[in-house]
Amino acid sequence: MPNITILALQGLTCSNCISKLTKALEALPDIQQVAVTLNYAKVTGSASVQDIIKTIEQAGYQGKVATQPDIKLQLTGLNCRNCVNKTQQTLENISGVAAAIVTTQTAQIFGTAKPTELIAAVKSAGYQATLETASNPSIRQQSATLSPETTQTVSKQTASDKLEKVNIDSETIQLLINGMTCASCVNKVQKALLSIPGVQNAQVNLAERSALITGQAKHHALIQAAQKAGYDAEVIDNEIEHREKQQQLTKDIIRKFRWQAALALLIGIAVMIWGMIGNHMMLSEENQFSWLLIGMLTLIIMVLTGGHFYYNAWRSLKNGSATMDTLVALGTGAAWLYSISVNLWPDKFPFQARHLYYEASLMIIGLINLGHALEQGARQRSSNALKRLLDLTPPTALVISEKGENRVPLSQVEQGMVLRLTTGDRIPVDGELTSGEIWLDESMLTGEAIAQYRTVGEKVHAGTVVQDGTALLRVSAVGQYTTLARIIKLVRQAQSSKPAIGLLADKIAAIFVPTVIIIALIAGTIWYFFGPSPQISYALIVTTSVLIIACPCALGLATPMSIIAGVARAAEYGALIRDAEALQQASNLDTLVFDKTGTLTLGKPEVTEIHTFNQFEQSQVLAIAGALEQGANHPLANAILAKSVGLSLPEVNQFRTLAGAGVKGEIDNKTILLGTQALMSQYSISSQQVDQLIAKQASNGITPVLLAIDNQLAALFSIRDPLRETAISALQRLHKQKYQLIMLTGDNPITANAIAKELGIDQVFAGVLPDKKAAVIAQLQKSGHKVAMIGDGINDAPALARADVGIAMGSGSDIAIETAAITLINHNLHSVADVVQIAQGTLRNMKQNLFGAFIYNTLGIPIAAGLFYPFTGTLLNPVIASVAMALSSITVVSNANRLLRFKPK
């Protein structure tokens, strides 16, 4: 008999990770079934634990067999194996449950579901459950292997100890890195951070000058690692502080580069003009002393305006590496050293070789600094979208206490406080309205342009604006725990990630600078031994030009600048992207699979008609059905309950949920059945009289629910889930973009096909249970399709994980951040079309940047080495090379910023 192994996982962050690990485990021999969540893997089969863990590690994650459950329930009423299997299946169908180990007396649950939900599910299955206190709720999962007859447990923080919405970056550390200038710097910092014990992943972003570290490393160890690599670093604890420090750092850098560029260019141009007017660029006895003074002045200006190049190059050299600063330092230093050598010992050089290059060193430094200043300004513009999100939180709040109303800084607001909201206020925290009513502008959070009505008991979120009304708000989340803060952190995390296409740039960047230095030395040597007279001058020009024109900075910015702009633009259109890989995958899609309920429809079914039979009254059957559905938790049950509001509902005994069929109970000693036509047939209740009505309603997309009282058909409830307002127009738009559209639903084929016809869906998979949806996605993938699954992110979690891209529908108050690669903040289906177009635009922009950076260096370096000298008789001036280098970086950043104006069609 196969074993069931439950493993605690670390390192998984999104549905792509889940999909990757699932495929890796399924590829193992002797594996029958695999179920993976962000925190657990449940593996059924005879493969050894060692092989399973090795496979997890090879996939890039960490896994240990679990040893304590998150939640343990005491059970009563189970007396056979069927009871155990039924309870286990019921528990594992609950969102957030990765695995459940059930005996006749206990249930051990691995996952993040709430105890109240688990107990309610057990009761709905016809049994009783109580919560047993976890023995060690603060320890992270360790491990265990289980046979079907044995149970062992896992330790992890219990769901009841967590906030309702966990901070998605609770195990991430942000560093602000100062001193990075190119792709080589990024690789150095990343390697240094990854070498620290406890670091699982490190994402270093050149464009943002930041590092996002996942793991449990000590802060001082991370800072020391960055410093040892040659860069300054500090830990940023929150987004507001991050933004303020980053803005200040950027302003300081731009100001510094501007005055350095101005001073170096002013002196450099003055020296060049003086030399050109009097034909003094060649050293002679008459101007030797003047040039010596200029050489000393040049050295002082070089240190003042370019000292950072030489300092960073020296630090890199001590660490055994090389960066863009190394190239600039070598090029400008070689030009100055050659000039001062000619100046001091002119007799050692032939007359033709006594050309001086003091002005070249200054102008190179000035132009590169000017390029950096312009580049910083362009980078700053690329972060404006994220800053607009950050600016949504006001600095103060109006707190109501026993002392009256006082406006206090937002940092002093705590959970449980009561705030007053009035017209025009921007809400500073998440919370629940305790009195009053307001019209709320949620457009900046959800993209919904129409103001939303909110009243007592409803949740509101930080960043939204009160358009009209007044209310009191009880604070439920502040600071980094608000929905807005989680969105900002998700955007920040995505902007720091790298897609597969960026790995090529990283590999090249790792060897780029050393390769350029070698090319420069080889080119200079060739010109020195085989070039025309004066060989030493030509060799110097070629060597300096090659060193200066090579630009690892453009290479380092090509991918991250596009990602920053693309992720920010997607956020403006209501799409939260977890990582850059999702962008790349989304750009290659050809098939979009939609869940029906809650995605294409509102997910709020309504009873449209009630047909009664056998002399039963409408109010009577509605009260009985409403009473029975009080114990159920299903959209159709909620529809009947909503219809029965205001009626006196009778007491129900012996209530039971009949999985996939309906519910059963007793009222006034009468047996009541409520559910599908198949359920009626199962209990030998004739429903022939409604066959024609059911067929007609199904063809119109209506779901029939039958009620039987003491084996007599009593009523038929016609229930329809209205389509979303944007569903038809959004799917038409996707059709025009040449996507194949598929609907995946548990509904019967007749109803499903009726809705699909109304929507213009190409293909329908009907009658598919949630645990089988992933198999449909896998089948499409095997056929060669690139598939996105669009669902609610909870019931569709396995399918979201299996798809190439999982897109979770949500709202500002309920985002499936933990499971989806892409999350839509609103329920507007046009956001699906928007995000796939933005993904395509971002990938196209990335390719343009990488192509430009590669082509620039591929052509620039040979030209600087003198490739065209035989045809033109001239060499590339090092000053012109510095202009080309600066322009290459500015071009990459400017091209990426075009994405900020990208408008989906």
CA–CA separation, 398 vs 410, rounded Å? 9
CA–CA separation, 880 vs 815, rounded Å? 52
Choose, from 595, 721, 792, 804, the residue flagged as catalytic. 595
Cis amide linkage into residue 534, ω under 30° from 0:
yes
Mean pLDDT by 10 residues, the chain (905 residues): 77 74 84 83 84 86 82 80 77 82 85 82 82 45 34 28 33 80 78 86 78 83 88 75 71 88 90 73 81 92 91 81 79 85 83 77 84 70 59 82 84 88 88 89 62 84 86 86 72 63 66 85 91 84 83 73 84 79 86 87 84 90 89 75 87 78 86 88 85 82 88 89 88 92 84 87 83 83 91 68 81 46 81 92 90 84 87 80 76 86 87
Structure tokens of 503? 């790995």
- Give the orientation angle of helix 501-530 with respect to helix 830-864, to 10 degrees: 10
Element (H, E) at 822: strand 822-824
- Going 186 to 189 to 191 to 194, the CA torsion angle's sign is negative
Structure tokens of 322? 């090389």
Amino acid 844: pLDDT:
92
- Distance (Å) of CA 372 to CA 87, 258, 268, 549: 64, 9, 18, 15
Q: Which residues contact 790 (CB under 8 A, 6 or more apart)?
A: 592, 593, 594, 595, 599, 807, 808, 809, 832
**Annotation marks residue 325 as catalytic:** no
Element (H, E) at 305: helix 288-318
What does the angle CA 597 – CA 601 – CA 607 come to, to the nearest 5 degrees?
Answer: 85
Tell me the domains of the chain and their CATH numbers.
Answer: 3-161 (3.30.70.100), 172-238 (3.30.70.100), 248-383+493-562+845-901 (no CATH), 397-478 (2.70.150.10), 578-601+726-837 (3.40.50.1000), 606-720 (3.40.1110.10)
- Distance (Å) of CA 282 to CA 204, 269, 294, 345, 359: 47, 17, 14, 14, 13
CA–CA separation, 592 vs 740, rounded Å? 6
Structure tokens of 393? 């939180």
Element (H, E) at 388: helix 384-390
Backbone φ and ψ of 431, nearest 5°: -175, -175
